[in-house]
Amino acid sequence: MVKSNFRYTALDAFVDKSGPICYGILKPGENYPGGIPVIKVKNIIGGRVLESDLLHTSPEIHKQYKRAEIKSGDLLLTIRGTTGRVAFVPKSLDGANITQDSARIRVSSNDSPRYVYYALQSPDIQRQIELNTVGQAVKGINIGEVKKLTIYHPELQEQQKIALVLSTWDQAITTTEELLKNSQRQKKALQQLLLSGNQRVHGVQSEWQNIRLEQLFSRVTTKNTEASTNVVTISAQHGLIRQEDFFNKTVASETLDNYFLLKKGQFAYNKSYSNGYPMGAIKRLNKYDKGVVTTLYICFEVSDETICNPEFFEHYFESGLLNNGLSKVANEGGRAHGLLNVKPSDFFGLTVFVPEVDEQKAIAAVLTTADQDIHALQAKLACLKQEKKALMQQLFIGKRRVKVDELEVA
């Protein structure tokens, strides 16, 4: 049955007194090949330490900061810059060190390190960290405040059961993440094969030919005479989406009369390069009946759907197959944000290698099905993470308790 006692203590009460909470090396110096690994904030991602890009410091500097030496099973908490990230120290980094931007937490044998690991990630503790984070140029939380973080402190057996419950959620999340990665890889492979003509859709084969975009699409330059206020912007992940949803505010001009009016099904090309889109992104308006976009975008629509399938070209543009052509006509403009100087005439003069419309539709159907599988996994993953977060909130404020009579084996 559930224990009736319910108490909170400072984080320091969980700590092994032989290794108090401390920060690491102030100035680890230049990389010292063959030296002692040093973990920085950027190495602490997703609950673990990424070992592919570790700094190494000299044995002399490590010796000066021997107090911050880490052991396998220690917890690390980022306390400067990006605060609140948590990770376990793996066996491979036993004897390494950390920078001043992280705190080492060595949990005593009377408590569960994995319980503390989850507790530090709970919404309540993350909120405490945020409230105690100060500074202007570089924000941080000091060690004294870290030690005082208030955590629900049940008996060891209940700690272990809570950690077991949450680790089950982590396993489900990890499994879903792997399934998602596999689906994304398969979709990418399908794109490369189907959109290049190297693999044909069963039962539908036609002649492929080189066609200029101007033979398939017409430029859209309709001004916003309807006074629409639905300003949309191109997001790599979400496509054409309302500015206030993407930026949490409107960044458009107060006067929208000179913006382009885009209708559902039409395309827009953002000439600014971004992560994953070295030559800019082309997206289709799918979420709204109408939207207005900046005149910096090149907007266009299918001229004749009897020869050009818009769903096919959604996949074609997303695959990056147009990048090679764009790189030949684009010159980087003088703007610091990376606006590419692509003239509309040069854009519509680009050539694409495509099949006839029936095969376009068949290819689009295959890739759309792959997209649906990906979206389903993304939705499942988001749901699992949200449910885990809600469960953590309940467990770490005592709203929901666990039975500890029998500690189940995972």
pLDDT band at residue 252 using 50, 70 and 90 as cut-offs: low
The tally of CA atoms less than 13 A away on the side-chain side of residue 121 is 25
- The pTM of this model reads 0.79
Output the DSSP codes for 184-251: HHHHHHHHHHHTTTSSPPTT-----EEEEGGGTEEE---B-TT----BEEEETTTEEEEHHHHHSS--
pLDDT per position as a tens digit, 40-65: 999 999 899 999 889 999 999 999 99
pLDDT at 254: 64
Every domain of the chain and the residues it spans: 8-153, 209-354
pLDDT at 227: 80
What is the CATH number that goes with domain 8-153?
Answer: 3.90.220.20
Q: What integer best gives the mean pLDDT of the chain?
A: 89
Gap between the Cα atoms of 363 and 264, Å rounded: 22
Q: What is the mean pLDDT of residues 383-404?
A: 83
| Percent of the chain surpassing pLDDT 70 | 92
Gap between the Cα atoms of 278 and 322, Å rounded: 11
pLDDT per position as a tens digit, 138-166: 899 999 999 999 999 999 999 999 999 99
Intrachain domains 8-153 and 209-354 with the same fold: yes
pLDDT at 251: 52
What is the CATH number that goes with domain 209-354?
Answer: 3.90.220.20
pLDDT band at residue 205 using 50, 70 and 90 as cut-offs: confident
pLDDT at 253: 58
